[in-house]
Amino acid sequence: MGVVPGSTFRAKLPDPPTQPSPTRGEGDETAAPCAIGRRLQERGGLERPRRPAVFLDRDGTLNHDIGYVHRIADFRWFPGAVNAIRRLNDGGYYVFIVTNQSGVARGIYDEAAIHELHRWMNEELRAAGAHIDDIRYCPHHPEGTVAAYRTVCSCRKPAAGMLLDLMSVWPVIREASIMIGDQESDAAAGRAAGIASAIIPAGGLEDFVRQLLSRREAAWPLP
């Protein structure tokens, strides 16, 4: 898989990946472990084929980021985002969401609100013939106002904990996988996990996925 071209996208392929060790919080040697990565909907019990994966940031990548989105009424998909996910499903990718949700640590909403919003998102996707295979979120922040979540952890991007946790559960072809988001912290998490990364503009997911799929088929035929 090569770098997807286009001046509006900044995509970076890493050096040939090595097996990374679990990542601690940036600049902290005593970061709290977050090995489970706040699992939401792991699909167990079935043997899964090895496939490439796309790791998607949520706010600012899939939906408009108005700040601490946690209510269904405030959630607005970007045009083309649902179709992009469906195309990735059809193209043989595992599709994951990895999202920082520091609103929990800040006391703005609780983890139940995250679960409810993600349940609704997948209902919306299923109605359109698409789905998210699995989700990880990080509710922590080192400056949180809720003591239980006020910590430097190994899952909050730019650390790679959420991605590494998904890779430990799903048979991901690491060298054919990519992290897509709208912030440098998303790209840094991808690099730390040993996969390609891309920063896209708001609303740019569908165009990026179209180019990604056009280049992937020759290099990584479906199993």
Catalytic residues: 57, 59
Q: Are 163 and 189 in contact (CB under 8 A)?
A: yes
CB atoms within 10 A of CB 113: 17
Looking up tokens 């019990």 gives: 45
Query: What is the C-alpha to C-alpha distance for residues 150 and 142, in angstroms, rounded to an integer?
Result: 5
Q: For residue 135, which phi and psi values (nearest 5 degrees)? A: -135, 140
Query: What is the C-alpha to C-alpha distance for residues 155 and 175, in angstroms, rounded to an integer?
Result: 21
Q: Are 135 and 16 in contact (CB under 8 A)?
A: no
How do strand 94-100 and strand 134-138 relate by DSSP bridges? parallel
Query: What is the C-alpha to C-alpha distance for residues 207 and 9, in angstroms, rounded to an integer?
Result: 10
Q: Which residues neighbour 17 within 8 Å (Cβ) at sequence distance 6 or greater?
A: 174, 175, 194, 195
Whether the ω angle into residue 20 lies within 30 degrees of 0, i.e. cis, is: no
Classify each residue of 32-53 as buried b or exposed e, where b means 16 or more C-beta atoms within 10 Å of its C-beta: bebeebbebeeeeeeeeeebbb
